[in-house]
């Protein structure tokens, strides 16, 4: 049975090292069982044990096959990896569920065009915190870290954006994210 209203897509974005994965894991646990809120996994051509987010690992060939057959709602390539949101996101939204996804700043315009109920939610951290987190996770070379830090420095969320400033503890940032995810949609939406 179709829902009367389409669900809201929470599109969580921010620079590498801002703590999106940690905050999403915190919020997912904290909001477990909420009647109308679900968290989607991304499909990524990165091994499942690579650290970071809880994602569905695919080989390059598996990803391309699924992409060709329309299994994804949205795909993008970034940092030599392929990323996608599965078609289940569209199904959940159509059922009236609110869906939280780990998005990408580079695909925000395409995502907003595809998902009319998209609400961008930015996770930011100070340059010193970003640098420390990127170095601690050990996934990038020093040159790659510097590129990511330069990219992050040149970015400012649009005026009026929903923002979690994640410079403190996991609980502080996580509770800030939880509070935003529990906000009602704007009137008329």
- Residues within the annotated binding site for ATP? 14-21
Nearest-angstrom CA–CA distance, 33 and 86: 21
Determine contact, residues 170/25, Cβ cutoff 8 Å. no
Determine contact, residues 98/28, Cβ cutoff 8 Å. no
Nearest-angstrom CA–CA distance, 137 and 51: 8
DSSP state of 7: P
Nearest-angstrom CA–CA distance, 184 and 189: 9
Binding positions: 14-21
Crossing angle (nearest 10°) for helices 20-30 and 170-181 = 60
Nearest-angstrom CA–CA distance, 133 and 135: 5
């Amino acid at each position: 049975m179709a829902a009367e209203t389409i669900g809201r897509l929470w599109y969580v974005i921010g620079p590498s090292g801002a703590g999106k994965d940690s905050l999403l894991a915190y919020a997912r646990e904290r909001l477990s069982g909420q009647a109308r809120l679900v968290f989607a996994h991304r499909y990524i051509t990165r091994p499942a044990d690579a650290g970071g987010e809880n994602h569905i690992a695919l080989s390059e060939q598996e990803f391309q096959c699924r992409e060709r057959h329309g299994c994804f709602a949205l795909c993008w390539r970034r940092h030599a990896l392929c990323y996608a949101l599965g078609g289940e996101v569209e199904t959940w939204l159509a059922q009236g569920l609110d869906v939280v996804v780990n998005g990408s700043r580079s695909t925000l315009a395409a995502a907003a065009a595809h998902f009319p109920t998209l609400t961008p939610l930015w996770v930011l951290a100070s340059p010193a915190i970003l640098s420390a987190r990127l170095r601690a996770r050990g996934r990038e070379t020093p040159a790659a870290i510097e590129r990511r830090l330069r990219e992050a420095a040149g970015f400012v969320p649009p005026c009026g954006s929903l923002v979690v400033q994640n410079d403190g503890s996991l609980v502080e940032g996580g509770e800030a994210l939880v509070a935003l995810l529990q906000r009602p949609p704007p009137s008329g939406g």
